[in-house]
Amino acid sequence: MKLKSTLLFFLVLTTFSCKKDTEDQTPTKSFEANADGIYISNEGGFTAGKASITYSDGTEAETIQDVFRIANDENLGDVCHSMAAINGLIYLVVNNSSKIEVVQPLTMKKVKTISGLTSPRFIVKATPDKAYVSDLYSNQISIINLTTNTVSGSINLTGSTEDMLLYNGKMYVTNLSTAFLYVIDAATDVVEDSIAIGSGGNSLQLDMNNKIWVLCGGDFVTSAPASLHRVDPATKTAELSLTFPTPDYPSQLCINETNDALFFLNTNVYKMQITDSTLPTTAFVDAAGKSFYAMGYDRISTLLYVSDAIDYQQAGRIYRYTSTGSEISGLPAGIIPGDFLFLNN
Amino acid sequence: MLLFSLNLSAQIDSSIQLRTVQINSIRNENNSTGLKQEKTDSLIKMISIDKSMGTVLSEQSPALVKNYGPGALSSVSMRGGSAYHTAVLWKGFSLANPMNGVMDFNLLPTFLFEDISIQYGGATAIWGSGAVSGVIHLNDNNTFINRNSLKVGSRYSNASGWANFIDGKFSIKNFSSSIKLFLTDEKNAYPFQQDDEMKKQVHAESKGSGLIAENTYSINTTTAINFNFWYQYANRNIAPVMTEAISNAVQRDRNYRYNITFTKDGNKGRFAFRNAYFNESLYYNDSALSQPSNSLCKTFISEPEYSYAFNEHHSIQTGINFTKINAITAEYNQEEEVIRESIYLSYRFQFRKLILSASARKEFNNYEKPPFAFSLGANYKMNSWIKLLANYSTVYRNPQVNDLYWQPGGNIDLLPETGYTYEGMIDLDLLHFARKIHNDTNAISIQLTAFNKNIDNWIAWTPHGILWTPGNIKSVHSYGSESVFIFRKQFAKTGIRLSAFYGYTVSETTSSEIPYDASVGKQLIYVPFHKAGGTFSVYYRKSIVSVNHTFTGVRFINTDNSDLLESYGLSNVQIDQRIDMKNNSLGAFFRIDNLFNTDYQSVQNRPQPLRTYSIGINLTFRQQKNHS
């Protein structure tokens, strides 16, 4: 009798255990944007494999999460680091999946997957038929053939190459692990110069006077401080260098629609005019404890988009500010919103 | 205590125990009045000889085991706390690496320890920093035996690979020694399912070796010296996550651990002078990244303890702990030294059916200024079959050395995590209720426990700008219940045994320093609300058949609870057979793990094996019986 009841107890336990108590997955539906809009890439957490794309027409009501998965019925991959619009297509750089997904705007339908990369960070068009891809670990810039969307070659460049900017036929490449801004001739793919700046260049912008501003985060190992430089592409020298106090780590250099005011993140959001000769000391937007992570400037609506990654383990939020720094309605995003692409023109 | 004997007793330990020298620590269950304690029983130990502590805890307790895959990291947390909240003590000395606070349960082969027990609840006043949600005690028996023995064994699993061990025990006059040695060589090239595709795990090879030598010299009937040495090495490739195409990461753990204890028994008192030295190295290299990381840590612990019984009702225990940690890695500015000193006192009162105890600890260190910790506990035997336990404790956990000094980000201003916990337990001996005799082979009992825990100043690394730094960022409230059911019955040469558990755990963030943090009011990530399991064994003469099943409920993987890992059930079945040959014996087992081919994840995107098979064999040689 006792044996029976014991066995029954075990059986009940086992049966109960086999039940799944999870909800069904969200049913797959097609995604079709009504109009061009704003795309937000969300990293999704390192190794989580939950990178995603948020689409928005600029209103919270028309903000749709995870549109890549909806359109293609598959996850985007691990850590989508950046996006670029090239030749009418959107390139999604999926860093820790070592790939770039090429998709159609509006539908988000996959056109091609570019593989054969190591740890891609940014893609920038170099000529009408090729683009460069920077990389954290491969010690080279990969060349993408934009006709076939395949890797067609590489350019050796030691260190962690990061953000890039094409100006006047030259690609200017920042490097997180050196104190130089590299110049590559986009026609010949030859590294033809390196311009001494601060350590850890992470972002750059071209201003109305055709000067290149480079923001450097510094170097934790050598304790080199962060800095901001104005580089003259004509003379290939930094004609203005401003140093941040340690241990500041500024990033995400953006420029406004008239190319005469810069924004960057340094815990808070800071704004400076290109004519300023000192770093701003008063925040443009005070983070007030929020985890500001990425920034993008919409040149059409002239709004500054700032993402809050909160604790990096939950859906983030986008805050939007006007040119005077006043906050307007925000937008919901995915986990660790890391880059913005404005296709609303 | 789930002791198990009869036919099995010979199989479990064929040597006759002459005397046990209590060396591990003066502090024991007597100080932990009112707390739930479980001892891993001999049968479970015997059928788990080739398993890691992580696997055994996962199968046998409501503790949450985060398992990154065969050969990889396995961490344990209890009662909705973090992995740092479970203290793992080897003879009373904490094993967690002081630099990162991590205890890898995959590097703890079960066979190394004769005596494994779990103490639930807060015990900071008794065991110090980190004993917040529970304590896992790893001890040996310190037993003098009259027959020297040697046991050798091997296991092969088609999921992982080879594990081999040798276990030798001998005693000469006043000296007893136990030496255990193991070698593992695991490919871990198992197939797994990803989406609808079958893949094979790569870059997960692991090689390990270890030696543990435990020696006791009994100077006279009241004085003994116990010297222990433990060497362990593990060289592991870190497998890629499902989302990564490849991984180049390699991790090497190398530990030397020594401890020496001198004990002297008096008429009413007992003195122990306990000392330990740990030298630990952790090497990690991901060739995709620029530079390898090498962490070296030397820990010296000295702990004089004294206990005194005034009479049958009143006793005290007191001691001083001195801990010095020297840690260095390229990510520190220099070699960092942390010194922690504490004093503790425990009082115990026993009167008829009631035991009361009160313990207190004050720690002094240069940085975190940990609070005064105390605990109050009561055991009350209401009648022959009902026992009641209750405990209230204040608890804390110091930051790790990396939290303080890691560059960039280390925060020297961190405070310890602090809080309080209370619990109550009812222990019902139903066999006794039915006026039958409860013993090692016949038992029906139920234990029901409810607990509550509040922790403030919870430490987590969060970004400030782009710089990650640890802070005291949130408060967490955990509560829940644990139920245990035990049934044992013996008929002639056949016996059956069932043990089952169910744990219900709620662990919520109650406040956060981060603005607009959606984790407030939500369950902590990776804490299942439900975990249940059971082991059912039938034995006949020298054969045993055991079935184990565990269920792990859904676990959230995002702090806003927007995404989760599915619940899963895992079953295994094992057959053990022993053949005796005069003094020697041959044992063999065959086991099927993940019997129903369940595709599951313990940690997000870390693949686990489907159904796997293991076969093991062991030989025990014993000295002829002599006259002692």
Residues of A in contact with B567 (CB under 8 A): 20-22
Beta bridge partners of B230: B212, B257
Mean pLDDT of B157-162: 91
Name the residue among B516, B532, B564 with its Cβ closest to that of A310: B516
Q: Any CB–CB contact under 8 A between B244 and chain A?
A: yes
A-contacting residues in B 467-486 (Cβ below 8 Å): 467, 485
pLDDT at B426 (0 to 100): 97
Residue B18 pLDDT greater than 50, yes or no: no
Q: pLDDT band for A23, please (50, 70, 90 cuts).
A: very low
- Please check whether residue B560 touches A, CB under 8 A: yes
CA dihedral defined by B79, B81, B83, B84, rounded to 10 degrees? -120
Instruction: Point out the residue among A22, A308, A310 whose CB comes nearest to the CB of B567.
Output: A22
- What pLDDT shows up at residue B417? 97
Contacts A–B by Cβ distance under 8 A: 141
> Comparing C-alpha atoms, which of B211, B147, B285, B103 is closest to residue B582?
B147
Instruction: Give how far A168 is from chain B: nearest CA, Å.
Output: 32
Q: Quick one: pLDDT band at residue B25, thresholds 50, 70, 90?
A: low
Please, are residues B231 and B67 in contact by the beta-carbon 8 Å criterion?
no
Tokens representing A186 are 């986009």
What residues in A contact B467, CB-CB < 8 Å? Answer: 247, 249
One-letter amino acid identity for B129?
S
Span B357-362, average pLDDT? 96
> What per-residue confidence (pLDDT) applies to B37?
86
Inter-chain residue contact A310 with B514, CB threshold 8 Å: yes
B558 with A314: Cβ contact below 8 A: yes
ipTM: 0.82
Contact A48 B554 (CB under 8 A): no
The per-residue DSSP string of B574-595 comes to EEEEEEEETTEEEEEEEEEEST
Cβ B551–A118 below 8 Å, yes or no?
A: no
Q: Which among A16, A220, A266 has the least Cβ separation from residue B408?
A: A220
**Which residues does chain A have within 8 Å of residue B515's beta carbon, measured at their own beta carbons?**
288-290
Average of per-residue pLDDT across B324-330: 95
Over residues A75-103, the pLDDT tens digits come to 999 999 999 999 999 999 999 999 999 99
Q: Which of B466, B517, B557 sits opposite A310 (nearest CB)?
A: B517
The predicted pLDDT at position A47 comes to 85
Query: Does position A220 have pLDDT exceeding 70, yes or no?
Result: yes
Q: Which residues face A313 on adjacent strands? A: none
Each residue's pLDDT tens digit, B418-476:
999 999 999 999 987 776 766 667 889 999 999 999 999 999 998 776 678 899 999 99
Kindly report each contact of residues B353-361 with a partner whose C-beta sits within 8 Å and lies 24 or more positions away, as own/partner: B353/B380, B353/B381, B353/B382, B354/B378, B354/B379, B354/B380, B354/B381, B355/B33, B355/B379, B355/B380, B356/B33, B357/B30, B357/B31, B357/B32, B357/B33, B357/B34, B359/B31, B359/B125, B359/B126, B360/B125, B361/B124, B361/B125, B361/B126, B361/B128
CB contact under 8 A, A21 and B567: yes
**Shortest Cα–Cα distance, B469 to chain A (Å):** 12
Asked if residue B32 has pLDDT above 90, the reply is no
Which of A28-37, A138-147, B558-567, B572-581 shows the lowest mean pLDDT across its residues?
A: A28-37
B567–A10 CB contact, under 8 Å: no
Give the pLDDT confidence score for residue B395 in this predicted structure.
97
Interatomic CA distance for residues B45 and B62, integer angstroms: 17
Query: Residue B9 pLDDT more than 50?
Result: no
Given this model, what pLDDT does residue B5 score? Answer: 32
| pLDDT for A191 beyond 60 | yes
Q: Which residues contact B173 (CB under 8 A, 6 or more apart)?
A: none
B460 close contact with A: CB closer than 8 A: yes
pLDDT in the model for residue B14: 36
Q: How confident is the model at residue B30 (pLDDT cuts 50, 70, 90)?
A: low
Backbone angles phi, psi at A90, to 5 degrees: -105, 130
CB of B604 within 8 Å of any CB in chain A?
Answer: yes
Q: CB distance B288–A137 less than 8 Å?
A: yes
| B242 near A CB under 8 A | yes
Which residues of chain A lie closer than 8 angstroms to B604, CB-CB? 47-49
Enumerate the residues of chain B whose CB falls inside 8 A of the CB of residue A266.
465
Locate the chain B residue with the closest alpha carbon to A223.
B408
Report the pLDDT value the prediction gives residue B626, as an integer from 0 to 100: 56
Residue B465 is predicted with a pLDDT of: 61
Q: CB-CB: which of A18, A119, A311 is closest to B514?
A: A311
Bridge partners (DSSP) of residue B340 are: B323, B365
CB contact, 8 Å: B515 with chain A? Answer: yes
Could you count the other beta carbons within 10 Å of the beta carbon of residue B350? Answer: 18
Say yes or no for a CB contact (<8 Å) between B489 and A2: yes
Q: What mean pLDDT comes out for the span B336-355?
A: 95
pLDDT higher than threshold 60 for residue B628: no
pLDDT in tens, B540-549: 999 999 999 9
B605 Cβ under 8 Å from any chain A Cβ = yes
Over chain B, what is the mean pLDDT? 90
DSSP A60-90: STTEES-HHHHHHSS---S-EEEEEEETTEE
Q: Tell me how far apart the alpha carbons of residues B319 and B309 are, in angstroms, rounded to a whole number.
A: 15
From chain B, the residues in CB contact with A100 under 8 A are none
Residue B143 has what pLDDT? Answer: 66
Which residues 210-239 of B are in CB contact (within 8 Å) with A?
none
- The pLDDT-based confidence of A68 (bands split at 50, 70, 90) is very high
Predicted pLDDT at B125: 95
pLDDT of B291 strictly over 90: no
Q: Taking 90 as the threshold, does the pLDDT of residue B328 lie above it?
A: yes
Output the pLDDT for position B342. Answer: 96
Q: Is the dihedral of CA B349, B354, B358, B359 positive or negative?
A: positive
Nearest to A21 among B489, B553, B604 (CB): B553
At residue B1 the predicted structure's pLDDT band, cuts being 50, 70 and 90, is very low
Give the Cα separation of B287 and B62 in Å (integer): 38
**For A241-264, what is each residue's pLDDT tens digit?**
999 998 889 999 999 999 999 999
- Interface list for B 408-427 with A (CB within 8 A): 408
pLDDT for the residue B28: 67
Residues in B touching A77 (Cβ below 8 Å): 243
Question: Which of A311, A318, A331 is most worth mutating to test chain B (most B CB atoms within 10 A of its CB)?
Answer: A311
Phi and psi for B10 in degrees, rounded to 5?
Answer: -65, -40
Q: Which distant-in-sequence residues (6+ apart) come within 8 Å of A172 by Cβ?
A: A164, A165, A166, A181, A182, A183, A204, A212, A214, A231, A233
* Closest residue in B to A312 (Cα–Cα): B462
Over residues B254-278, the pLDDT tens digits come to 999 999 999 999 999 999 999 999 9
User: A96 and B532: CB-CB below 8 Å?
Assistant: no
Per-residue pLDDT averaged across B386-396, rounded?
A: 96
